[in-house]
Structure 1
Amino acid sequence: MKHLIVSAFLVLGTSLSGTTATQAQNTPAKQLFGAHDDASSQRARSHGSYAKGCLAGGEQLAETGPTWQAMRLSRNRNWAHPRTVDFVQRLSREARRIGWNGLYIGDMSQPRGGPMLSGHRSHQIGLDIDVWMRPAMNLNLSRNRRENISSISMRRAGGAFVNDNWTPEHHAIMRAAAQDPEVARIFVFPGAKVQMCNDETGDRAWLRKIRPWYGHHYHFHVRLRCQRGSRNCEDQAPPPAGDGCADAQRWVNDILDPPPPQPRDPNAPAPQPRRELTLTDLPRQCAGVLEAR
């Protein structure tokens, strides 16, 4: 039934015409991608950008493995490019070596990627992973427990500093992730980046990939590079040169002493709410991803 609902908005191949084109243009893409509960039977490919794309041939991360558990299973967001699944397994093994039993994995992507019914703007092409900050010491959580347990916050003073939940293991796990050649960026709250800058006594090159961003104190967000074979995948621009520590400190300074708001130009048009993405906003290959068995 879900496939038939999606097919009602598509035309054979990738063309759109007549009333179908009108319906596709007006239907939020998140409804079309959210209607699928399995991946397309295609070669694994990421199409488009992290916040405007889709995923062909996605692979599901097993709900439980020897060194990980996928959380919030009701969301069905434990899908990704196969290389992303490999990375999660690899990092979770490293987490065990560092001192945890493994990792709790939050949202990755929907089965066919695309815009999500709720939450993230990114996570659309199978290359984003949310890793919980809560140490994964118990890897026998039931499905019900995984729906109700929460991660734990690491921030203090609005994100300017880490709190007492922060440990050297958090630092070490993020360092291991950043040193993986598949990783392009890791997003975390500013105080954590500054703490890692202050604590790191060895090689600092990996700190360049750690980028301060809003929120991200219950989890850190790992973003992988576009994978070989995904010709239509759009990489994000590389982080600026250097370790990025001074930039993170500026974020912290602005949290502690916010700059005055910029006066609004009375002649400027009022900001408009962000428009929902439709299928026609996405790469043309995404129509085929939705239609494929």
Structure 2
Amino acid sequence: MRTPSRWLRAVFACATLLALVPAIPQVNAAEPLAKDLFGSKSLPAVMPAKSYGFYSKGCFGGGIAMAVDGPHWQAMRLSRNRRWGHPQLIKTLEKLSDDGAEKDGWNGLMLGDISQPRGGPMLSGHASHQVGLDADIWFTPMPKRRLSGPERESFEPKSMIKDGGLTVDDRLWTPAHAAILKRAAGYPEVERIFVHPGIKKKLCDTVKGDRSWLNKVRPFWGHDYHFHVRIGCPPGSVGCKAQESTGTGDGCDKSLAWWFTEEPWRKPTGPQAPRARDVMTMKALPKECRMVLEAPSPQSEASVTVGGGSNRVADVIPTASPVEPELPNAIPVPSPRPSGQ
């Protein structure tokens, strides 16, 4: 009988060894994207209201939703499910809707995107809006009738900027537009309001008297048909990363003049890096965002939606303290606004 070759003996030995080793499960090398994980959540995290991280890299728990309709607002693009925010932001939006209607001649707010139920990077669109402290408000005043669901998906807001230019269309701009911006900037919790550079210049050229509020109005790309309200980190959100100060002055200086040069509008050439939103994984977010992602959901959206009448958010949120108790009964759970109001 021939003796097996050295090569065959090695093969037999390896086969025997492999037979004794338990099977190793296959691991998917690609980590799931944070935008897919947060975008799949249709309801908020049941936990005390807190924001974690920065406006463009974070999340939030204990969110509540603006009602589809309020006394002085209508929510738009309902299919996106982006009506959610930290209770302090929702309170600010309600206040602005009331003050604008009663004091500034603004018929009502048409609300665009706020945040996803638990924040985080969005499946599309914004880089920010991740910590429940940002909201888009259309420059188009609310119509006197309530729009249908399909209308809220297809309604096109009007740009305040002339076609092909960088200046405001005076046929559309009214004193009420400036008034609603001033009203929002006057709230101490509001830290920034982003608008198209042409709108900032319009304000710089026309605002008389007190101009201190212009400091909060910042020029940025886009924002020709809506303004973006951003509040600061709420009390108790110790994991929230604050923004840099806007400094002093009204912002009607060389920093604004830059927007009217070619540089800000020059199209980039060559291969472009993907947006951070599209490659961000959970490792890029604060560690608390894993807790937010895995937290239970409320039983229904109705239990965390606020509206008008006696169910205003100001009536249901307890006064914030530096350290919020981690108790279930401390979680703000507003009652839904009765239908028909």
Q: Same fold (TM over 0.5)?
A: yes
Flag the 1:136–1:270 CA change in 2: closer, same or farther, 3 A: closer
Amino acid at match of 1:216: H
- Asked whether the 8 Å contact 1:47–1:232 carries over to 2, the reply is yes
Match in the other structure for 1:188 = 195
Q: How does 1:1-293 map to 2 (within 5 A)?
A: 26-97=31-102, 98-156=104-162, 158=164, 160-163=166-169, 164-247=171-254, 249-254=256-261, 272-275=273-276, 276-293=279-296
Please state how far the C-alpha of 1:130 moved relative to its aligned partner. 0.2
Please state how far the C-alpha of 1:196 moved relative to its aligned partner. 0.7
- 144-153 or 117-126, which moves further after superposition? 144-153
Amino acid at match of 2:68: E
Query: Secondary structure, in 3 states, of the residue corresponding to 2:261?
Result: helix
Indicate the percent of aligned positions where both proteins have the same amino acid.
Answer: 47
Please state how far the C-alpha of 1:113 moved relative to its aligned partner. 0.3
Please state how far the C-alpha of 1:47 moved relative to its aligned partner. 0.3
Amino acid at match of 1:282: L
Please state how far the C-alpha of 1:167 moved relative to its aligned partner. 1.0
Q: Which digits, 9 at most, give the CA deviation of each residue in 1:155-174, with x for residues without a partner?
A: 12645210021111110000
Q: Which runs of 5+ in 2 are unaligned?
A: 1-23, 297-341
- Asked whether the 8 Å contact 2:58–2:131 carries over to 1, the reply is yes
CA distance in 1, matches of 2:116, 2:181: 24
Q: Which digits, 9 at most, give the CA deviation of each residue in 1:31-85, with x for residues without a partner?
A: 0000010001000000000000001010111110000011000000000000100
Flag the 1:69–1:271 CA change in 2: closer, same or farther, 3 A: closer
RMSD of equivalent CA atoms: 2.5
Flag the 1:48–1:249 CA change in 2: closer, same or farther, 3 A: closer
Please state how far the C-alpha of 1:142 moved relative to its aligned partner. 1.4
CA distance in 2, matches of 1:49, 1:85: 18
CA distance in 2, matches of 1:34, 1:259: 31
Query: Secondary structure, in 3 states, of the residue corresponding to 1:161?
Result: coil
CA distance in 1, matches of 2:49, 2:85: 9
* Bigger Rg, which one: 2
- 236-245 or 277-286, which moves further after superposition? 236-245
Flag the 1:139–1:103 CA change in 2: closer, same or farther, 3 A: farther
- Asked whether the 8 Å contact 2:162–2:168 carries over to 1, the reply is yes
Q: Which digits, 9 at most, give the CA deviation of each residue in 1:142-191, with x for residues without a partner?
A: 11111111111001264521002111111000010011101010000111
Flag the 1:260–1:225 CA change in 2: closer, same or farther, 3 A: closer
Aligned residues: 269
Q: Which runs of 5+ in 1 are unaligned?
A: 1-17
Q: Which digits, 9 at most, give the CA deviation of each residue in 1:79-129, with x for residues without a partner?
A: 000010011111111221211321000000000000001100100000000
Flag the 1:27–1:142 CA change in 2: closer, same or farther, 3 A: same
Query: Secondary structure, in 3 states, of the residue corresponding to 1:130?
Result: strand
- Asked whether the 8 Å contact 1:25–1:278 carries over to 2, the reply is no
CA distance in 1, matches of 2:98, 2:265: 46
